[in-house]
């Protein structure tokens, strides 16, 4: 019997989602998508601020996770840069602007959140 814990691990190492939650609309959309992916069981949303604060436990967990998804809203790539600065290198990176969303024109509507979540699902499912 398979146990489903909701972290996206399918019995292996957990999948962790880090996300931009910036003040711009596109950051709110990215964060909405990350929460949706977590609610659907694709992985566990983790606190990016804790990475920036140097939380050794979270950084170690991310280094040994089954998969890490870094979601950024815009090309400033704050999530990617923060993970790299913490020495977390093995992650999939996704930027909402790469799928046609534009900062200042991307409110966190269900449609926009689903568009971002769809890309996240693909990246989290790849190479299980």
Could you give the residue ranges of the DSSP H alpha helices within 2-128?
A: 25-39, 48-52, 56-63, 78-85, 110-125
- Segment-wise mean pLDDT, segments of 10 residues, the chain, 128 residues: 47 87 92 97 96 96 96 96 96 95 95 97 83
Query: Do 119 and 70 form a contact (C-beta atoms < 8 A)?
Result: no
Give the integer Cα–Cα distance in Å for 95 and 104: 15
pLDDT of res. 8? 52
Query: pTM for this one?
Result: 0.88
pLDDT of res. 4? 45
Residue 88 is classified by DSSP as -
pLDDT of res. 124? 94
Taking each helix axis as running N to C, give the angle between helix 110-125 and helix 25-39, from 0 to 180 degrees, rounded to the nearest 10.
60
pLDDT of res. 13? 81
Q: Say whether 65 sits in a helix, a strand or coil.
A: coil
pLDDT of res. 97? 95
Query: Do 90 and 36 form a contact (C-beta atoms < 8 A)?
Result: no
**CB-side neighbour CA atoms (13 Å) of 119:** 23
Within 10 A of 63 (CB to CB), how many other CB atoms are there?
Answer: 15
């Amino acid at each position: 019997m398979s146990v489903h814990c909701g972290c996206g691990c399918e019995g292996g190492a957990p999948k962790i989602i880090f996300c931009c939650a910036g003040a711009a609309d596109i950051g709110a959309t990215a964060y909405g998508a990350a929460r949706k992916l977590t609610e659907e069981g694709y992985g566990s949303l983790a606190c990016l601020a804790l990475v920036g604060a140097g939380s050794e436990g979270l950084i170690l967990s991310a280094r040994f996770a089954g998969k890490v998804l870094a979601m950024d809203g815009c090309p400033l790539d704050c999530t990617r840069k923060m993970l790299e600065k913490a020495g977390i290198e093995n992650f999939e990176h996704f930027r909402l602007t790469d799928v046609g969303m534009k900062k200042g024109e991307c409110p966190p509507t269900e449609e926009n959140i689903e568009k971002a979540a769809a890309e996240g699902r693909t990246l989290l499912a790849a190479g299980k």
